[in-house]
Amino acid sequence: MKFTLSWLKDHLDTDASMDDILYALTDLGLEVEDVVNPMDTLKDFTVGYVKHAEKHPDADKLRVCKVDTDEGELQIICGAPNAREGIHVVVAKPGVYVPGIDTTIGVGKIRGIESYGMMASEREMELSDEHDGIIELAGEPVVGSKFIDYLAANAPDKIDPMIEIAITPNRPDALGVRGIARDLAARGLGVLKPEPTAEIKGGFKSDINVTIDADVQAKGCPVFTGRLIKGVKNGPSPAWLQARLKAIGLRPISTLVDITNLFTYEYNRPLHVFDADTVKGDLRVHFAAGGEKLMALDDNEYTFDAGMMAISDDNGVESIAGIMGGLPSGCTDDTVNVFLESAYWDPITIAMSGRKLKINSDARYRFERGVDPAFTPVGLDLAAAMIIELCGGEASDMVVAGEVPDTIRSYKLDTDRVKSLVGMDIAADEQRATLEALGFELKGDDAFVPSWRPDVLGEADLVEEIARVASMTKLQGVPLPPATVGVPQPILTPMQRRETMARRTIAALGYNECVTYSFIDKPSAELFGGGSDAVMVGNPISADMSHMRPSLLPGLLQAAARNQARGIMDMALFEVGPVFHGGEPEEQEVLATGLLIGHTGPRDAHGARRAVDAYDAKADAEAVLSAIGAPEKLMVLRGAREWWHPGRSGKLSLGPKNVLCAFGEVHPKVLAAMDVKGPAVAFAVHVANPPFPKAKSATRPALKISDLQSVERDFAFVVDSEVEVLAMINAAKGADKALITDAYVFDVFSGEKAEAQMGEGKKSVAISVRLQPTDVTLTDKDIEAVSAKVIEKVSKATGGTLRG
């Protein structure tokens, strides 16, 4: 919402300074977004007089001028065609900032001759777009005087400060200058001037009558008022009106149209003018049947949907009600008879229609926020009076269809509520005075809401108004009472702790945490089992962000590709965050995913560097699972999803159903599709899947250790190369559950060399078995017996033989 200071002062009698007004506006909730104040930007420009001008010896288009200024005669080089002897000009001396060219003037040499300033055009001072030459001041201004003083005396419009404020959706009343003035008056920054009145003597009955269909009147348009004004003379509006509109960025069109725009901004009262001679028969307000077309005033053709409000005559649809008029019935410079419309349109219906038609007009903006219904006929008459004043003509009696809707309501003013809700001490009579200044009517403790405040709908709103006007900056903090006495209870849920634990464990393993977008492109989503319509964003901002991600891997792989493009080839990236298995709120899951690409580190002198592989991912996955409290013994399964390497991937799970994690190499086709130079290995932990402990106990089970010496025995077996070592380990452990505390693989010999030694399709696996006696030290005989059992069990389970 834009307005000028002088416009505001039409409604507010005030001596307050510009700074005070700006501060108060923002503090009242009418946040100042922009101020254009020529008094500030032009304060250093002064009046000069060109005493002498001659052609620059080295440039045809430049003139060397001797200019009288407040600092004596200055030599200024000027390129303007009108720079000549004997004119009064505006001078910017060295050091002055010129807003229109965003430059501070300095002393310079132009083609070898020194220049001590510049003479400015209107555009250079942001006064207008005029740039055909420098300003020539009329009359006999005092040389050296301030240019703004000249403007104040000769063209006050030009130095009228423009203020732009942001309007929150609850304050349609502040979409009119008068509403803003009312707020400032309530704050004490002046006195609200009385509302102008207009006495229109209707001389005749309007030729054009108006009806509202019953269904529209019930919902969309409770009241429609109008007057036919005959014998007007349209044309350019007077200078003051044009200046006012230009100052807020509107283009003057004609007096009739300019008046409607003026009322839109002055009173938040959008109006419409029909050229009465183009209207055939009466006007009818109705819901569109759908399919009607209208060429609107913005020169675009619009097609109505059923249910949008339209104003039609015998020719058909003439106006998109409350949003924009039609071109055929619009006013032109030749308009002689005008039908002025002032109606109240339902915000919701206007909002729906406006959004569907994609028309952002000032009228729509205001009607969908809510104009003052009671002001409908008042605004009509004020505007009619101005039309008659500026364009002549005679007004008809008022045409009224429907009636002004009843918005009368009141809420109890409890003056203690300001203290209990906001915490500010404001005297009861001050509270009442504030409400009255805002237009509330107080009957006892009942506060009746003014018709221009559709947002006030309860007692809390009264408190808000009082606190707002009193200024919330006065609010002093009061300590929040402690929630509990003593040491506070923990506040994180087990799942929240687990997420943090997973995140920090992975970082401790050397991964860099990423936060990638929750949405991703469809092809990438499809590579990871997603990309269905259920997880599709209806209005994505780009095709790259069209689907909710099914996995964290695509985002991390894209990040990897971007880093590879920057020349970083070794990386460990991870993310802990949500993935989406469907389009319903409950179909969201937290994953912790790590991605390793390239080598374990940069090249180094120790030969420590090696390519990362699936076992790195597995180890890290196990570390994460352990950190978040997953049980130690997990099933290792094959058959991870299709985006994993079929041979080099697996799952860790609790039973066949509860998969806690997948790990392994990413499928090379997936990497190729995502432009990642592989191989890449990864793990994805389902953070919520490990069961949470049922009862929390800090106590650990007792530690059982034996003082007896433990014994390790090594065995090497030749087995088929497809045999998984876990089968051997489990078999070995099963040989004597009491005595064997651990068994692990310490060497695998496979591949061509191994096959050459041990036969095709064979490999050798060396395992170590640890025996821990609990009662007596083991004898050689005991050890032999267990060893024999280990060999027997492993052979039986895997078909392997002890390597000779």
Partner 1 sequence: MDGLDALKSKYLEGIMGAADESTLEDLRVAAVGKKGEISLKMRELGKMTPEERQVAGPALNALKNEVNSAIAAKKDALADAALNERLQSEWIDVSLSGRPRRQGTIHPISQVTDEVVAIFASLGFGVAEGPQIENDHYNFDALNIAPEHPARQEHDTFYMHRADDDDRPPHVLRTHTSPVQIRHMEKHGAPCRIICPGRVYRADYDQTHTPMFHQYEGLCIDKDISMANLKWTLEEFCRAFFEVDDVELRFRASHFPFTEPSAEVDIRCSWDKGQLKIGEGDDWMEILGSGMVHPKVLQAGGIDPNEWQGFAFGMGIDRIAMLKYGIPDLRAFFDSDLRWLRHYGFASLDMPNLHGGISR
Residues between 440 and 459 that touch partner 1 (CB under 8 A): 455, 458
In whole angstroms, how close is the CB of 403 to partner 1 at the nearest point?
A: 24
Residue range at the interface with partner 1 (CB under 8 A); choices 278-286, 329-337, 574-582, 685-693: 574-582
**Binding-site member from 12, 520, 573, 740 for partner 1 (CB under 8 A):** 573
**Binding-site member from 85, 587, 642, 675 for partner 1 (CB under 8 A):** 587
Using CB under 8 A as the criterion, what x/- string covers residues 334-373 for binding partner 1?
-------------xx--xx--x------------xx----
Residues between 609 and 648 that touch partner 1 (CB under 8 A): 609
585 binds partner 1 (CB under 8 A): yes
Cβ distance to partner 1 smaller for residue 71 or 461: 461
| CA atoms of 350 and 361, how far apart (whole Å) | 11
| CA atoms of 334 and 255, how far apart (whole Å) | 12
**Binding-site member from 218, 568, 611, 726 for partner 1 (CB under 8 A):** 568
Strand 283-287 versus strand 210-212 pairing type? parallel
Q: What angle in degrees, to the nearest 10, is found between the helix axes of 239-247 and 255-267?
A: 50
Q: Are 632 and 626 in contact (CB under 8 A)?
A: yes
Cβ distance to partner 1 smaller for residue 394 or 461: 461
**Binding-site member from 22, 110, 424, 688 for partner 1 (CB under 8 A):** 424
In whole angstroms, how close is the CB of 492 to partner 1 at the nearest point?
A: 6
Using CB under 8 A as the criterion, what x/- string covers residues 9-28 for binding partner 1?
-----------------xxx
Query: Residue 608 corresponds to which amino acid?
Result: A
**Binding-site member from 514, 625, 662, 728 for partner 1 (CB under 8 A):** 514
CB neighbour list of residue 492: distance below 8 Å, 6 or more residues apart: 500
32 binds partner 1 (CB under 8 A): no
Concatenate the DSSP letters of all residues of 381-401 into one string.
HHHHHHHHHHH--EE-PPEEE
Cβ distance to partner 1 smaller for residue 222 or 555: 555
**Binding-site member from 37, 211, 563, 689 for partner 1 (CB under 8 A):** 563
| CA atoms of 716 and 725, how far apart (whole Å) | 12
478 binds partner 1 (CB under 8 A): yes
**Binding-site member from 60, 194, 605, 655 for partner 1 (CB under 8 A):** 605
* Range 426-435, long-range pairs (CB < 8 A, 24+ positions): 426/466, 426/467, 426/470, 430/470, 431/466, 434/186, 434/465, 434/466, 434/469, 434/470, 435/462, 435/465, 435/466
Residue range at the interface with partner 1 (CB under 8 A); choices 59-67, 120-128, 481-489, 692-700: 481-489
Q: How far is CA 173 from CA 265, 267, 371, 454, 644, in A?
A: 10, 8, 7, 9, 61
| CA atoms of 282 and 758, how far apart (whole Å) | 105
Give me 225's structure tokens.
């008022």
In whole angstroms, how close is the CB of 130 to partner 1 at the nearest point?
A: 33
99 binds partner 1 (CB under 8 A): no
Q: What angle in degrees, to the nearest 10, is found between the helix axes of 614-627 and 494-508?
A: 140
The three-state secondary structure class of 100 is helix
Which residue's entry shows tokens 């009255």?
436
| CA atoms of 165 and 176, how far apart (whole Å) | 11
600 binds partner 1 (CB under 8 A): yes
The three-state secondary structure class of 421 is helix
Q: Are 269 and 372 in contact (CB under 8 A)?
A: yes
Establish how many alpha carbons lie within 13 A of residue 537's alpha carbon, considering only the half-sphere containing its beta carbon. Answer: 18
Cβ distance to partner 1 smaller for residue 153 or 569: 569
**Binding-site member from 144, 601, 629, 773 for partner 1 (CB under 8 A):** 601
Cβ distance to partner 1 smaller for residue 492 or 637: 492
422 binds partner 1 (CB under 8 A): yes
Cα dihedral 579, 689, 633, 802 sign: negative
Residue range at the interface with partner 1 (CB under 8 A); choices 86-94, 548-556, 692-700, 728-736: 548-556
535 binds partner 1 (CB under 8 A): yes
In whole angstroms, how close is the CB of 700 to partner 1 at the nearest point?
A: 23
| CA atoms of 797 and 804, how far apart (whole Å) | 19
**Binding-site member from 13, 31, 85, 215 for partner 1 (CB under 8 A):** 31
Using CB under 8 A as the criterion, what x/- string covers residues 165-184 for binding partner 1?
---xxxx-------------
Q: Are 71 and 99 in contact (CB under 8 A)?
A: no
597 binds partner 1 (CB under 8 A): no
Omega prior to 679 cis, within 30 of 0: yes
- Count of residues binding partner 1 (CB under 8 A)? 106
326 binds partner 1 (CB under 8 A): no
467 binds partner 1 (CB under 8 A): yes
Strand 571-580 versus strand 512-513 pairing type? parallel
Cβ distance to partner 1 smaller for residue 494 or 734: 494
CB neighbour list of residue 737: distance below 8 Å, 6 or more residues apart: none
CB neighbour list of residue 797: distance below 8 Å, 6 or more residues apart: 727, 728, 730, 731
Cβ distance to partner 1 smaller for residue 49 or 345: 345
In whole angstroms, how close is the CB of 508 to partner 1 at the nearest point?
A: 4
Give me 788's structure tokens.
């024999």
Cβ distance to partner 1 smaller for residue 482 or 693: 482
Residue range at the interface with partner 1 (CB under 8 A); choices 325-333, 392-400, 540-548, 735-743: 540-548
Cβ distance to partner 1 smaller for residue 215 or 587: 587
| CA atoms of 466 and 437, how far apart (whole Å) | 11
